[in-house]
Structure 1
């Protein structure tokens, strides 16, 4: 686990914020994930140290200048510690000033956040520790997966601290609620307002609350090899394939070639001689380098050919035949039947 008693997240309590000054303690039941819905992955946008040393007494960095060097400076002073706003989280995940991704705890864990609002049945604000992850443009797999990994590590740390089963449920307000949920799920259960996070972001990269629960459980079980990564088709739109390659990307290639009229045999995900020959034939028709290697240019040509549904015609050779005493009708019939032959009338 990344976090433990000797290695805790950075603490920078937002003790001047509206939520910090107005909330109350709660009995912890679970952990709820949020993401901001704004293209700014920097923690400094939302989190800044308090102005007086007394208010920073519990912070990791008592010196305000040092805290700003670590977190970054919000020159507009529109962070949640210097702006009256009826919302607040127990923690935030995003980029520090040096670009590394980290967690900052902004309230005590057992203080009720003002995070998910309320639905028809009530609110998960009464029982679920909540953290917000700073979004970027939602198109960078590397940032998405690193932010997800940090979220898993933080959640595992909190589950261990409060004895939470990551696959468990809690009977709350007449509803069976997962211990680990997101804002979208709280709304669906009638326990939060109408927001879609994080369902609009992480599923783009193969992650969800289901994978989060599994990954948190693995971290809690002490697995040292929990490696969280994006699926291959999200990290590289045009994976380089060659003879010997295997997997789903090869199946996609084989299926595309088959649709374009190339004989391959089985769609088996094995880049063997038949697939290589088909690739070389296709490259030849597209005036590409004929090397049997599928890189970006070959992928793009395949996509373009598939869109136009142009099945390539491979002409082995053209023959000339001379046949005597044919009528015009007979000559025309031969020309139609033997398209690779030149029929001369004598």
Structure 2
């Protein structure tokens, strides 16, 4: 099969190899998926660069955890799913063969069915962005009637977090760093959008929240925002954060948070509670089937040009999903 892989960490154009690898065979409980689209996310790029454990086995890694395609074969113990359109998640978590190839064999549960009306390109975006966003919005329970702050609403996760929150009945205040991202956050349903590059952000958030205050925060940069979050959040408020890239060892304003009884949820999609995964997968299926979510696909590259897709992520420009067309 055609595939892209790397045998050592490094720069995308130096270590990613395009060529032929042996087609996998599904084992017990597994399905073989013919991949149409593979999604590239920051975690995939960090693994390839050596910033996170890549999971080398047999001397190589086929990258990317998310994708979408069609089941072509099933292993022992799997009900007949032949021909089923699916989206794939966690393909390269704890494994060395991800979705950046014509085929991937993986546990059947990691390939949920894709609604008939949903495009495979959209299905490839369902894993890390949609699942992380859903967990962040729902980590502290039903968001209905709450006021939520979504930071970094121009990003992949933030874009879906705004939508999950609105679908859940919340009032949403969002922040984004460009006029275009602010506009897109508004289109995604945010009730108010603030540019975080302008001065006095915490005060502007508090003003927007009014007497209701902020009940729950979905945060893309926990360390940088921790002090401001402690200032603006309500008593017994909650924070769900999925990244702290610019402050990986953050200082936590312990007493301001303690005196407000703030609860912190850290969210990593791979190790989410099983119940949360099931809830997210069910919500994704329903939302896609009903056409309730807006999607942003910023770029699509061919398999042979997967390195360019990685470079787009590293450049930090596109807020939408980056896909590799297999």
TM class by smaller structure: under 0.3
- Bigger CA radius of gyration: 1
Return the TM-score normalized by structure 2: 0.25
Quick one: higher RCO (CA 8 Å, sep 6+), 1 or 2? 2
